[in-house]
Amino acid sequence: MGAHGAESSRRAEGRPGRADRSGSGTTAVLRLAQEGRLNLGTPVTSLLDLEPMAGRQADARLANVTMWRLLQHSGGWDREISDDPGVIEHKIADTLGTGLPNDKADMMTYMTGLPLDFAPGSRFAYCNYGYLLLGRVIEAITGQSYGSYVTGRLLAPLGITRMRLGRTLKADTPGEVPYESRYTATTVLDESGAKVPRPYGGFNMDNKDASGGWVATAMDLVRFERVFDVPSAANVLDSRSISRAFARPEWGTFSSGSWYGAGWYVREKNGGYNTWHTGGLAGTYTYLVRRYDGVTYAACFNRRDEGAGPAFDVIGDLLYDVADNIATWPSVDYGSLYF
């Protein structure tokens, strides 16, 4: 179901913000597989040249990290054990001796020199690094930058024109919402050691791309999910590719009975699926849901729970209850009123 809103005589323009979750990387990989350009059972080591820094050796089990396992966060990295490279940029620069800022190649070199935290495919551990690798696979196969491929092949067919990859500094983010955080950090953009607001230099947005680097409005996210909600209208993924997005992983299900498919948390409901995802960075929190009954909604915030304010994850139950209590939806699609 498309987005709905109050009738208005004016077009409403929402200010975009860091969404940290759009499913674009997942959708791009599934599209390439659909076109026969990628086999999801292929190991990442067959597609990318992953080399550790001098003096270190790659874990032999990297050969078992397939596209499926990257999509389903079962590649073998656990950020609770070996850290997320997106939050240890100073450590990476010091280890490699490259200085700041890091780029994606630096992160890959550093991570390839670490042992995996578990056997690939044996369990789930949310891993942004796995999606960074998927972005590089997309580039290797298409010969385009990740952002260019997604914009041209996925966003343009859906009429999404303002969604874009984010930048780090406030001066480079015109038109976006201001990102709020009570924390500061030492900048990762240079060696100055300057203290900066965490959303503006505490991490490098340029390195996020496929692992949560998009800037979007809630309307953009809902439009994007038409890929899964109304596949015939979006004409991006076919029914087989969509079923792959929601497939049970080889490791099974969580104790709740839900599971993580390819880019989506999934739970069976009334003969269909509830699928959802959240995402957060310093200064952002995003919540996106596709219900079993065809209702889709998203909420974006320019801050996240930092222990001194609301716990933003409560929005999930609140919005679900609101949707349950709507007896009649408008017969008119008001999505055209919003950019």
Residue 185 bridge partners (DSSP): 196
Compute the distance between CA of residue 198 and CA of residue 183 in angstroms, rounded to an integer.
Answer: 6
Distance of CA 238 to the CA centre of its chain: 21
Band of the pLDDT at 93, cuts 50, 70, 90?
A: very high
Residue-level pLDDT at 22? 60
Cβ distance 286 to 20 under 8 Å? yes
Are 169 and 106 in contact, with CB atoms under 8 Å apart?
A: no
List of domains in the chain: 17-324 (3.40.710.10)
What tens digit of pLDDT does each residue of 21-58 get? 668 999 999 999 999 999 999 999 999 999 999 999 99
Average pLDDT, the chain: 92
- Average pLDDT, integer, range 236-246: 97
Contact 85, 65 (CB under 8 A): no
CA Rg value for the chain: 20
Q: What is the pLDDT of residue 202?
A: 97
Residue type present at position 38: L
5-19, 85-99, 306-320: the lowest-pLDDT one: 5-19
Q: How far apart are CA 267 and CA 260, in angstroms?
A: 9
Is 3's pLDDT higher than 50? no
- Alpha-carbon distance of 67 to 33, in angstroms, equals 10
Whether 11 has a pLDDT exceeding 70, the answer reads no
Residue 43 backbone phi and psi in degrees, to 5: -65, 145
Residue 178 has pLDDT above 50, yes or no: yes
6: pLDDT confidence band, cut at 50, 70 and 90? very low
d(CA 316, CA 307): 18
Lowest mean pLDDT among 17-21, 150-154, 205-209: 17-21
Among the residue ranges 18-32, 58-72, 170-184, 235-249, the one predicted with the least confidence is 18-32
**3-37 exposure pattern, b = at least 16 Cβ within 10 A, e = fewer:** beeeeeeeeeeeebbbbbbbbbbbbbbbbbbbeee
Per-residue model confidence as pLDDT tens digits over 248-298: 999 999 999 999 999 999 999 999 999 999 999 999 999 999 999 999 999
Lowest mean pLDDT among 17-21, 81-85, 190-194, 258-262: 17-21
Per-residue DSSP letter, 14: P
What per-residue confidence (pLDDT) applies to 8? 29
Mean pLDDT computed over 95-109: 97
> What mean pLDDT do residues 120-135 have?
97
How many other CB atoms are there within 10 angstroms of residue 273's CB atom? 20
What is the pLDDT confidence band of residue 334, given thresholds at 50, 70 and 90? confident
